[in-house]
Structure 1
Amino acid sequence: MHETPRNPRDLTGLDLDDILGTINAEVRQRFGEGRVADYIPSLADVPRDRFGIALALLDGSVHEAGNARERFSIQSISKVYTLTLALEAIGDELWKRVDREPSGDPFNSLIQLEHEKGIPRNPFMNAGALVTADVVLSGFDAPERTLLEFLRKRSGNPEVGTDEVVARSERESGYRNVALANFIRSFGNLHNDVQDVLDFYYLQCSLRMDCVDLARSVQYLANAGRCPVSGERVTSAEGTTRINSVMMTAGTYDAAGDFAFYVGLPAKSGVGGGIVAVVPHVMGLCVWSPGLDEKGNSLLGRYALHRFTRMTGLAVF
């Protein structure tokens, strides 16, 4: 196996199915590690003995192992797609309302908003995602349908949808998100009704997809903004670079530096246990394992991506 960086566009000599099979076997030896996100009641019942991994190459081929076809709640992975839509709606004007710096604080922190006058540190913290949700609400006539159609086209799966049980659980337990939204609104950085913003945010977090869907859905970020599934241009090449950059620096919350150190790919995690990652010009990836580490990232998912980049040499550094 490759232990040193290689040309990221060169897959010569890599048996991807064998690599994924090895990682799957290794991860299953560690089942039981990590804790599920029990602060969202509907996620507390998800078994920890699940692991899936899938990668989607730009030529359309898919490689997978484990529970790669089992759907799960994508949670904050959805912030990648709403960021893309927000940039489509208002372009660089977005950066006047949300910053693009690592936070150093937990994903649901309120602390920095007071000092920084309601401007969230980045679009992947909950506060920043609420602002991008607000932009999407203002920018599209039917924002919920727009988001669903976006993901159905990116994944090639017309059945992508929401889990109402999860959405209801989010609404019933989302006190901190309510506080965040109202606090941001007090600085004038939400333009729509607070409840409408929260409802859209809960909807995006309650989307259910599997590893194959998600690996395909981030291919546009590996393909200079063009979706290989639909053939559509989703964002510009420059927009792709910017989204990938924010994923690298803030996509795994306050563990982004550690994640870049051990994995070396732009990535976005969710407390449902999923992590999507991008190898520019090569593939989209997704791993899923519900047990989380103390930062809210999939513990075994992070390990799997670490092993993948070490076995293939496909890190961006």
Structure 2
Amino acid sequence: MSMNSVPLGSIVQEIAEEMKLAGDRGAVADYIPQLASVSPWHFGMAIVDMDGECHVAGDAQVPFSIQSITKVFALTMALGAVGDALWHRVGREPSGSAFNSIVQLEWERGIPRNPFINAGAIVVSDILLSHYEPAEVIGEFLQFMRMLTGDDSVAIDQIVARSERDTGFRNVALANYMRAFGNIHHPVDKTLGVYFHQCSLSMDCRQLARAGRFLMTGGRNPDTGLSVVTPQRARRILALMMTCGHYDGSGEFAHRVGLPGKSGVGGGILAIAPRIASIAVWSPGLNDRGNSQLGTLALERLVQRTGWSVFGPG
């Protein structure tokens, strides 16, 4: 819980006010045209605690493209479908390379380092396609996200999905390269269709924080009391978020924030304080590692004021 007497709602509001004054807001991702048009002046934050209270500030109810944050939820679904057999096709180690790097795939014969880099997430999409068509997988994914949020308005932005498809040449290369090694089992266009649509999910901070609650609670959906994943699997997903959730900036994020987190190039970050809170921040400007500049700063200030870092206060 909070290490001081300041109410959490006040802390969230203070941080949002501080972010308004920030000078260096990073650079908006420009390689996906629909993301390039988003103003860098947005900042939103939402925190859902174990009691179900939601504290919001700034643009917490403005929808944005959550991009790679969806990899957490797709991994959850794939583990539910095939269990630990997934790890025969995807590793569990930090990459130390950019999120869209192709270099390691040659050295490691088509086995991506982890499910949060693009290559790993494309394999996860391929696993989800087993016995299904892309439209069915995308429908199941959307239903899963609506269940986690308790909100049927969560939707995929079809314009962003088309923009991703039209510009995703490197992802096409990654998928074809892994297909050459036998680690993509379905036609590349079908696997990438699932991947591009998944990454185009549109949510606001409030919805995203609600979607992460099952990781806060050890695998249980607080709305229904039903298990989403086992406690052991929830811990393992959190471990991957801590070590791999910010690509080659994961060590820096752990050093500064000390929470399991997953970023997306839309400027969002989902962070989990186990048994305490699920946190979503959004600011579109990115640092040189492709992670939200102000989102990271806001989370750093949050843990400084609450003592929520998994490594202890200080």
Query: Counterparts of 1:220 and 1:140 in 2: how far apart (Å)?
Result: 26
Q: For residues 238-279 of structure 1, give each alpha carbon's deviation from its aligned partner in whole angstroms, at most 9, with x where no partner exists.
A: 100100000000000100000000000000000000000000
Q: For residues 21-49 of structure 1, give each alpha carbon's deviation from its aligned partner in whole angstroms, at most 9, with x where no partner exists.
A: 11001111015621000000110000011
Verify: 1:137 aligned to 2:123, yes or no.
Answer: no
CA RMSD, 1 decimal: 1.3
Provide TM-score, normalisation by structure 1.
0.95
After TM superposition, list the pairs within 5 Å mapping 1:1-317 onto structure 2: 9=1, 13-30=5-22, 33-138=25-130, 142-317=136-311
Look up the equivalent residue of 1:128 and give its one-letter code. G
Deviation at 1:184, TM superposition (A): 0.5
Q: 8 Å contact 2:126–2:191 — kept in the other structure?
A: yes
Query: Counterparts of 1:147 and 1:184 in 2: how far apart (Å)?
Result: 23
Q: For residues 67-126 of structure 1, give each alpha carbon's deviation from its aligned partner in whole angstroms, at most 9, with x where no partner exists.
A: 000000000000000000010011110111000100000000000000000000000000
Query: Counterparts of 1:168 and 1:159 in 2: how far apart (Å)?
Result: 20
Moved over 6 A (4+): none
Deviation at 1:191, TM superposition (A): 1.1
Query: Counterparts of 2:264 and 2:3 in 1: how far apart (Å)?
Result: 29
Look up the equivalent residue of 2:261 and give its one-letter code. A
Deviation at 1:57, TM superposition (A): 1.1
Q: For residues 127-164 of structure 1, give each alpha carbon's deviation from its aligned partner in whole angstroms, at most 9, with x where no partner exists.
A: 00000111111166721111101110111110101111
Provide TM-score, normalisation by structure 2.
0.96
Cα separation, partners in 2 of 1:233 and 1:135, compared to 1, 3 Å: same
Deviation at 1:14, TM superposition (A): 4.1
Cα separation, partners in 2 of 1:151 and 1:11, compared to 1, 3 Å: farther
Q: For residues 169-193 of structure 1, give each alpha carbon's deviation from its aligned partner in whole angstroms, at most 9, with x where no partner exists.
A: 0000000000000001111111111
Look up the equivalent residue of 1:129 and give its one-letter code. A
Cα separation, partners in 2 of 1:139 and 1:12, compared to 1, 3 Å: farther
Look up the equivalent residue of 2:298 and give its one-letter code. A
Deviation at 1:63, TM superposition (A): 0.4
Look up the equivalent residue of 2:173 and give its one-letter code. A
Q: 8 Å contact 2:2–2:305 — kept in the other structure?
A: no
Look up the equivalent residue of 2:215 and give its one-letter code. L
Query: Counterparts of 2:180 and 2:5 in 1: how far apart (Å)?
Result: 57
Q: 8 Å contact 1:57–1:282 — kept in the other structure?
A: yes
Query: Counterparts of 1:59 and 1:11 in 2: how far apart (Å)?
Result: 17
Query: Counterparts of 1:18 and 1:53 in 2: how far apart (Å)?
Result: 12
Deviation at 1:20, TM superposition (A): 0.5
Look up the equivalent residue of 1:218 and give its one-letter code. G
Look up the equivalent residue of 1:174 and give its one-letter code. G
| Partner SS state of residue 138, structure 1 | coil
Cα separation, partners in 2 of 1:288 and 1:197, compared to 1, 3 Å: same
Q: Could you tell me which residue of structure 2 aligns to residue 5 of structure 1?
A: none
Cα separation, partners in 2 of 1:77 and 1:98, compared to 1, 3 Å: same
* Structure 2: gaps of 5 or more residues: none
Identity level (%): 50
Query: Counterparts of 2:15 and 2:147 in 1: how far apart (Å)?
Result: 29
Cα separation, partners in 2 of 1:231 and 1:182, compared to 1, 3 Å: same
Between 107-116 and 131-140, report the one with greater CA deviation.
Answer: 131-140
| Partner SS state of residue 208, structure 1 | strand
* Structure 1: gaps of 5 or more residues: 1-8
Look up the equivalent residue of 2:258 and give its one-letter code. G
What is the count of residue pairs matched by the alignment? 309
